[in-house]
Chains A and B, each alone.
Chain A
């Protein structure tokens, strides 16, 4: 049963600290999405990769957030420095993207709390 995995599942940190979240997409998938979810804003797309290249990161605060795919089996989302307003659940999703369709399969999320 292929699944997207995310680590850590929970993270509590203090303001100003660096946070790194990791995602292992489903083997063979060529697209990766990073989302942030809060009660007020719902699901917000932060970044979107296809074949490891970033296609859209317009939803990401560039001054503190960065997203990378070092290889096809790992995607990372970093926040440096973290702020209390970054507290949210961060989801990674992967898909077998074609030129038009891209069904997304979500991981369980990382619940981040910044004190």
Chain B
């Protein structure tokens, strides 16, 4: 099963870029990297996903290394509302592999 490892916690100053790393060294060739975040007491919220190429949307950018063993989620201008737990998971709906969520990274954006 594709497992991911993330730092337990990170801090970021408001207005600065937040770079959240994720290791997924056992990812298979067709598994996508997904990022979600969970603000306290709410359901997780989808942020972005990618397979090989870097991706960008209105919320964030996703940088995936060439060997696909790690990725970085970038919040370009972090705000206080970005304080949340960020989850990185590796998944392909067509694979018979269990979907595993880790404990994520608790990001604190400080004023």
Chain A interface (Cβ within 8 Å of chain B)?
4, 31, 35, 42-45, 48, 56, 58-59, 91, 93, 97-109
Interface of B (DSSP majority class): loop
Q: Are B43 and A100 in contact (CB under 8 A)?
A: no
When each residue 84-109 of chain B gets 1 if its CB lies under 8 Å from chain A and 0 otherwise, what string results? 00010001111000111111100000
Shortest CB–CB separation between residue B53 and chain A, in angstroms?
14
Shortest CB–CB separation between residue A9 and chain B, in angstroms?
11
Chain B hits for A108, CB < 8 A: 42-43
Chain B interface size, as a band, is: 20 to 34
| CA–CA, A64 and B92, complex, Å | 29
Shortest CB–CB separation between residue A36 and chain B, in angstroms?
11
Chain B interface (Cβ within 8 Å of chain A)?
30, 32, 34, 36, 41-46, 49, 87, 91-94, 98-104
Q: Are B101 and A42 in contact (CB under 8 A)?
A: yes
Which residue of chain A lies nearest to B92 when distances are taken between CB atoms in the complex?
A: A100
Q: Are A102 and B43 in contact (CB under 8 A)?
A: no
Q: Are A101 and B32 in contact (CB under 8 A)?
A: yes
Q: Are A105 and B87 in contact (CB under 8 A)?
A: no
Per a CB cutoff under 8 Å, which of A42, A100, A103 touches B94?
A100
Q: Are B98 and A42 in contact (CB under 8 A)?
A: no
A45-B99, A56-B98 are known; give 5 further A-B pairs, CB within 8 A: A91-B44, A97-B93, A103-B34, A105-B46, A109-B43
| CA–CA, A53 and B107, complex, Å | 37
Chain B hits for A56, CB < 8 A: 98-99
Contacts known (A58-B98, A59-B98); A101 close to B93, Cβ less than 8 A: yes
Shortest CB–CB separation between residue B104 and chain A, in angstroms?
7
Q: Are B103 and A102 in contact (CB under 8 A)?
A: no
| CA–CA, A97 and B104, complex, Å | 24
Which residue of chain A lies nearest to B34 when distances are taken between CB atoms in the complex?
A: A103
Q: Are B103 and A100 in contact (CB under 8 A)?
A: no
| CA–CA, A29 and B37, complex, Å | 21
Q: Are A98 and B93 in contact (CB under 8 A)?
A: yes
